Amino acid sequence: MKSKSALKAGLTISLIMLFIVSGIVDTRAAGLTNHTADMTVNVVILSKRTENPQKVSLGLDSRVNYSVFDQSMDTPGAIKTYEPLNYADVVILDSYLPHLVNDTHYLLTKILEKEMGVILFGGHYDHEALNVFEEIMPAYFTINRKAQNDLIDNVFTGPIGLNDTAMDYFQDSVYNTTKEFTILDNQIQVQAIEEGALKDTQFIQSIAWQSCPLLKQRFSTFANKKGANTLVEVPDTKEPLIVVGNVKDFTTINKNIQVIYISTGLDVYKTEDGQDAEMNTAFKLWPYFNYFMYLSVFYCSNSFDNANLETYAQWPYSPIPHEREATIWMTFVAVLWVFNFALFFSLSRKKKADTNVPETRSDSEAETKPEEEPREENVQE
């Protein structure tokens, strides 16, 4: 009876622990849900394709409302009547802008008017359309020609006395090798600027950039503009790969617009032999890419306090065990230990009780068992 009581007690304790901890976990989860339920962001994605990597990543998080304006929708004036643009917080340019310059100007005007955040991925844009947006981009795509000309005129042409023909030849040579919006194709590693102005943001604190795969196709980028900050660069050449800045800090436009420029785009394009290809497929498959997209859209939204950005461990859609799962698992292990101890204790008590019972034979066994005959001892005479 005692062994059964111990087993029942163990089971009861296990169940009580399970219910208590489950209640605590559900309460914490409910509190987290209530805390983040109103933290939503509305995003418009301009892309050549309806199904794009940015849409897939943002679709994981129910707090992100997105819509896609793809190439098939881009008829003259269509962007002007695109309803989601009226309530968008952030615009993502997935290597695409409206093909009519007038429509591109309208899009930029709308962004400035509503102070929408902008995330621009490098790729095969229409250059005339991209020129419209260059003013609010936080990076230089080519060498700053005016700065270089002033430097050459003040340092070389005047003091040294070089003639204009030689300097014109040099300048033309430099400019011809730094064409605007050039797509580079050499393989590169990436490195985060861990001690820069963005060191306290989740972009640095929560993303292990050293785990980023080797990347390749990208916009040729010369430098970040003054007032903007490079987040990720090529280690040996210091070529900016991701630049973050607020428009009011690096332009004369007094607008609170966060812009993130990502030179390593995910564009689809035709190769020289006519085959379909995608830029930097490994980038979108990187385990941190989905989290990077979450950070980017909320960081660029003026309606969101960046202090509330979740870490990689807190973000519910990161591929790691979270607090709820970890707590449930630890509770299960604890309950299993209690149950095993109760079972072991119960079986030990039962075994001990069985060994203390003396052996008895029934009367029938005693009657049927033949009497042993005395053995004769051999006596030597």
Query: What confidence tens digit (pLDDT) does each residue in 146-198 have?
Result: 555 555 566 555 555 555 565 565 555 555 555 567 889 999 999 999 988 99
CA-derived radius of gyration, the chain: 36
Strands 223-224 and 276-278: unpaired
Amino acid in position 229: N
Query: What confidence tens digit (pLDDT) does each residue in 96-153 have?
Result: 999 999 999 999 999 999 999 999 999 999 989 999 999 999 999 865 555 555 555 6
| pLDDT at residue 25, rounded to an integer | 46
| pLDDT at residue 329, rounded to an integer | 53
358 or 264: which leads in pLDDT? 264
Amino acid in position 169: Y
Q: Is the pLDDT of residue 29 over 90?
A: no
Cβ atoms within 10 Å of 128's Cβ, excluding its own: 12
Please report, to the nearest 10 degrees, the dihedral formed by the alpha carbons of residues 92, 98, 101, 107 taken in order.
Answer: -40
Query: Which pTM value belongs to this model?
Result: 0.73
> In this prediction, what percent of the chain has a pLDDT beyond 90?
56
HEC-encoded secondary structure of the chain: CHHHHHHHHHHHHHHHHHHHHHHHHHHHHHHHHHHHCCCCEEEEEEECCCCCHHHHHHCCCCCEEEEEEEHHHCCCCHHHHCHHHHCCCEEEEECCCCCCHHHHHHHHHHHHHHCCEEEEECCCCCHHHHHHHHHHCCEECCCCHHHHHHHHHHHHHHHHCCCHHHHHHHHHHHHHCCCCCCEECCCECCEECCCCCCCCCHHHHCCCHHHCCCECCEECCCEECECEEEEEECCCCCCEEEEEEEHHHHCCCCCCCEEEEECCCCCEEECCCCCEEECCHHHHHCCCHHHHHHHHHHHHCCCCCHHHCCCCCCCCCCCCCCHHHHHHHHHHHHHHHHHHHHHHHHHHHHHHHHHCCCCCCCHHHHHHCCCCCCCCCCCCC
Q: Is the pLDDT of residue 267 over 70?
A: yes
With bands split at pLDDT 50, 70 and 90, how would you rate the model's confidence at 373?
A: low
According to CATH, the topology of domain 42-142+178-320 is: Rossmann fold (3.40.50)
Where are the domains positioned within the chain?
Answer: 1-37, 42-142+178-320
| pLDDT at residue 273, rounded to an integer | 87
Picking from 292, 369, 342, the residue whose alpha carbon sits closest to that of residue 53 is: 292
By mean pLDDT, which of 15-29, 63-77, 178-192, 221-235 is the weakest? 15-29
- Does residue 316 contact residue 324 with C-beta atoms inside 8 Å? no
Report long-range pairs for 290-294 (Cβ below 8 Å, ≥24 apart): 290/57, 290/60, 290/317, 290/318, 291/206, 291/207, 291/315, 291/317, 291/318, 292/203, 292/207, 293/54, 293/57, 293/58, 294/57, 294/58, 294/60, 294/61, 294/64
Output the CA–CA distances (angstroms, integers) from residue 16 to 100, 119, 286, 288, in the order listed.
67, 50, 42, 39
